[in-house]
Amino acid sequence: DGGITQSPKYLFRKEGQNVTLSCEQNLNHDAMYWYRQDPGQGLRLIYYSQIVNDFQKGDIAEGYSVSREKKESFPLTVTSAQKNPTAFYLCASSLSAGGGIQYFGAGTRLSVL
Amino acid sequence: AQSVTQLDSHVSVSEGTPVLLRCNYSSSYSPSLFWYVQHPNKGLQLLLKYTSAATLVKGINGFEAEFKKSETSFHLTKPSAHMSDAAEYFCVVSLAYNQGGNLIFGQGTELSVKP
């Protein structure tokens, strides 16, 4: 069953703690993306990766980090430098970075304790 | 620069009546345009896509959208609303390949369907 899997579904972060959100895809897509969604707002791009071992900052990259060591995996770390991390985080992938359809995971909701 | 504006933050209709969700875009070239739907606490699902073929695009669940270049619009319609259509809808424009092929999302329109 092909798709994008995000885990965990819910995550809580303590003050000063780094947390990592997982995103795995078995669609054999080259490009992967991380978005942040706040209530009443559209999605904002955090980071994207067009190919393994390469990634680019999006519009709101400060306080976040990513890696792309494997084609199928694109984990996002929310660092302690991100002062307002409470949001819904969505991972997506596309066949290539050429503006085609992006397929989304079910999301991770991050809250601060 | 590319941008997208959804003209209504919230639309309410009665079950069985038509749905119209409005979207205007701005693009310096011929864009790809999408409509996505998001049910509460879920990821986004593609409804339909326009890529410079037919201007009237048919999507899933009875939705369709018409690309009107003269009006820079890409409104989403459905002849008869169903309770299961209640969700948030996003109009999206695609950036050019040399900009990472990224998507620009509208602010979203929340659709409510009354029995």
pLDDT at B98 over 70: no
Measured CB to CB, residues of chain A less than 8 Å from chain B are: 4, 6, 31, 33, 40-45, 48, 50, 56, 58, 88, 90, 92, 94, 96-107, 109
Name the residue with higher pLDDT: A16 or A25: A25
A35-44, B84-93, B104-113: least confident range: A35-44
Kindly list the residues from chain A whose CB atom is less than 8 angstroms away from the CB atom of residue B50: none
The residue behind tokens 């984990």 is: A75
Query: Under a CB-based contact definition with an 8 Å cutoff, are residues B64 and B53 in contact?
Result: no
Verify whether the Cβ–Cβ distance A42 to B107 is below 8 Å.
yes
In angstroms, rounded to a whole number, what is the distance separating the alpha carbons of residues A89 and A109? 6
B94: closest chain A residue by CA? A99
Compute the average pLDDT of residues A63-79. Answer: 97
Angle at A89 between CA A85 and CA A95, to 5 degrees: 145
The residue behind tokens 């900009």 is: B99
A62-66, A98-102, B73-77, B90-94: least confident range: A98-102
pLDDT at A40 over 80: no
Is B83 in a helix, a strand, or coil? helix
Compute the average pLDDT of residues B48-77. Answer: 92
